[in-house]
Structure 1
Amino acid sequence: MKISGITLWHRRLPLSKPYWLSGGRLKFEALDSTFVRIETDGGLVGWGEGCPWGETYLPAFGGGIRAAMELLAPVLIGENPGDIDRLNRAMDLALPGHPYAKSALDMALWDIAGKRAGAPLFELFGGAEGEGVAVNSSISTGTPEEMVALIDQARAKGYRTHSAKIGGADIAGDIARIEAIEAALPADENVTYDINRAWVPGVAIQVMQSVAGSARGWFEQPCQTLDQCAVVAASTTQPIMLDECLQTFQD
């Protein structure tokens, strides 16, 4: 079986309402999505999608996905779609870096692999273990009352764990948001406070120490860099999780 064609579609996906994060520092009203279809001469088709979370969140650009296809598609045409590791290495040679631009193609290759095997991908990856993982609701930055109302709406949809977007120059405002959410949150629900890199270490330490007696949740990516987050972790008892500053496997 050989790859015979690659087709792209571009769609601008409007959000139902503006979404704010990082204490209102970042605003999103639509997402730039690229859908990829890999066709094979054996009739199997694989689908993938690249949809960066806005242009200002991380170094990933929707238009860059489509531009990269001019370099990446010729590398795949005529190749066996089952040679996924080799094809990923070939794409890395054709375009070093830019993993976000390659992810849709990688996704489509795995879609073909699952269809070829007649099995879902989780089985090809080794099978399922343990219980399912709860999915977070995503709560946009707002006033304390607005954020509590959004969590109530998410609860009505079945969510029992939430990611609340805070972080900004208004220290008292962030403390008020956390205290309001904690006061309203049922004992059997969980919340993570996602700062999206908005705080400097001093602000992070001040806020986290101020709510140490009430906040049950983790604080996600409080500062820009790994070193800054390490300073915060050494100065507070509140648990911290990281994501944006982890760019490589070495991180």
Structure 2
Amino acid sequence: MKIKTVEIFKIELPLIEPFIVSYATYPNMPSIITKITTECGIVGWGEAVPDEHVTGETLESTYAILKHQLAPLVIGENPMAFERLHEMMDKAVYNVPAAKAAIDIACFDIVGKKLQVPAYQLTGGRYHHKFPITHVLSIAEPQQMAEEAARRVEMGYRSFKMKVGRDVASDVARIRAVRERVGHEIAIRVDVNQGWGNSANTLQAVRQLEMLQIDWLEQPVRADDIDAMVEIKTKTTIPLMIDEGLRGVREMREIIAKRAADKVNIKLMKCGGIYPAMKLAHMAEMAGIECQIGSMVESSVGSAAGFHVAFSNKAFTSVELTGPLKFSKDIGDLHYDVPFIQLTEKPGLGVEVDETILAELTNEQCVVAQ
């Protein structure tokens, strides 16, 4: 089985509401979809959602890298040879993890369809039966976030990720408002997206948050400041999660060596896809660090890929893959049973792509063939 063609689609996924984090506001979510077809006619779908603030890639650079470097590289290769494919891509282009994820995910989709098994059977088999869905609250005024949280509780949600990172005082007010509104039975996770900058600001915040029963505090400081995470971890009882500070094996080694976090947020777009994500999960498991599969707000394609990783490995204790729930129109049909996600037994990613909607959302496309 060999790869015959790679089709690349630059699209824009329409959000129901703008997605607001500490460093950017997204009115819609730009994405790149790959469609890889083998010589025997099997089609696999992949996705790249680059972020210049996190992966160091832009939509334009990712499209160009796929078109001119990675897609031509994998033409004629066996999509089942995951290790070889990643070695080839790594030798050809340094970093660019979201671009590599678009190839990796499509290959897992192909192999699952070829063998007629769900993708999670390729990464360890089914371990988890289902995961609760965590609703993500974009940054807004305290009462606005509290009101949205209350509405979501009525819909069945039992956990929230709060996006903060504007400044310590207003962020603490946001967290307090949500906690007071939903009570203490609802789980709250706080994601700062590097917004507090350093350990001094973060320690000011955690002293005010200690009594609010926060599940964990995610990436409060700059991504590369692992030592600041170490300092904070020694001075608070709130569990710490590293997100932007973890991209690949090099960062994971440092996090493990310094015991810099209680939990790590593995994202396929940060590490290069399903295959590298499994390697990171195994490293974390050996070090006794819990894992989460996180989202760059992908469509059904990228979100399904993340779920397959999480469902097949016991190191994953939470998932945050809610992109499809945020779109008014999606290219795929990943199904959510709010407040849970339960994967089907369909082969590959288990997602059917509507090519009519894909064409409607596409701004630019190309085909790379033999």
TM-score, L = length of structure 1:
0.91
- The match for 2:174 among 177, 185, 190 is 177
Contact 1:139 1:147 in 2 (8 A): yes
Q: Structure 1: give runs of 5+ residues left out of the alignment.
A: none
1:26-45 to structure 2, matched below 5 A, reads 26-45=24-43
SS in 1 for 2:243: coil
Alignment-mate amino acid for residue 98 of structure 2? Y
* Alignment correspondent of 2:97: 99
From 127, 133, 136, the counterpart of 2:134: 136
Distance change >3 Å, CA 49–CA 130, structure 1 → 2: closer
Moved more, 120-129 or 100-109: 120-129
3-state DSSP of counterpart to 1:213: helix
CA distance in 2, matches of 1:206, 1:18: 29
Q: Which has the higher contact order (CA 8 A, sep 6+)?
A: 2
Aligned length: 247
Q: Which ranges in structure 2 are unaligned for 5 or more consecutive residues?
A: 252-370
Q: CA RMSD in A?
A: 1.7
Alignment of 1:1-251 (within 5 A): 1-22=1-22, 25-52=23-50, 54-69=51-66, 70-169=68-167, 171-199=168-196, 200-224=198-222, 225-251=225-251
Paired residue type of 1:103: A
Between the aligned partners of 1:77 and 1:130, the Cα distance in structure 2 is 35
The two structures have a TM-score, normalised by structure 2, of 0.63
SS of 1:92's equivalent in the other structure is helix
AA of the residue aligned to 1:146: Q
In structure 2, how many angstroms separate the alpha carbons of the residues matched to 1:31 and 1:63? Answer: 14
Measured after TM superposition, the shift of residue 130 of structure 1 is 4.0
1:56-94 residue CA offsets vs partner (Å, 9 max, x unmatched): 454232222211121111211112222222122111122
Per-residue deviation, 1:12: 1.4
Alpha-carbon displacement from aligned partner over 1:113-156 (angstroms, at most 9, x marks no partner):
00001000112222122442222111011111111122123334
Q: Which amino acid aligns with 2:21?
A: L
Deviations 1:153-207 (A, max 9, x none): 33344321110011223x3222211211111224432110110101121111111
Inter-CA distance 248–124: structure 2 relative to 1 (3 Å threshold): closer
